[in-house]
Amino acid sequence: MTSPTGGAGRTSDDDLFLLFILGFFGLAAAAATAATWWAKAVSWLLERQVLVAGAQQPLLALPASGGAGLDVPRLALAAAALIVVVAGAVSAIRRRLREGGLQ
C-alpha cells in the first residue's frame, strides 16, 4: 500500500480512506458481537449464581442485565479479588524496577 509516485513507506489518501472504512466496519462488528456476548455472559453468571437476579434487588446492578448484579457478599468478594490483582501487579512492577528491568 504505497503511493505510486511517493516511493516505499508512504501512504496515499486512498490507503488512509480504506483503513478508516475498515476500522469503522470493524468497530461496528465488534459492538454487535459485544452486545450478544454480554447477554450470554450475564445469563451464564446468573445460572451459576455469581450474580443475583433483579428480583433480589442487588446492591450494584450491571447495565443491560435486566437488573441483575451483585449483592453485598458478592460485591465484597469482587472488591477483594480486585485488590489482590492490583497488589500483585504493583508488586511485580516494583520488583522489575528494582532489578532494572523496566526503563
Tens-place pLDDT, residues 16-46: 999 999 999 999 999 889 988 999 999 999 9
| Assigned domain for 4 exists | no
CA terminus-to-terminus distance, the chain:
34
Q: How far apart are the C-alpha atoms of 8 and 12, rounded to whole Å?
A: 11
pLDDT tens digits for range 44-96: 999 999 999 988 989 999 888 889 999 999 999 999 999 999 999 999 999 99
| Assigned domain for 88 exists | yes
Q: How far apart are the C-alpha atoms of 98 and 88, rounded to whole Å?
A: 15
* Structural domains in the chain (count): 1
| Residues spanned by the domain of 43 | 13-99
pTM above 0.85, yes or no: no
| Assigned domain for 5 exists | no
| Assigned domain for 6 exists | no
| Assigned domain for 68 exists | yes
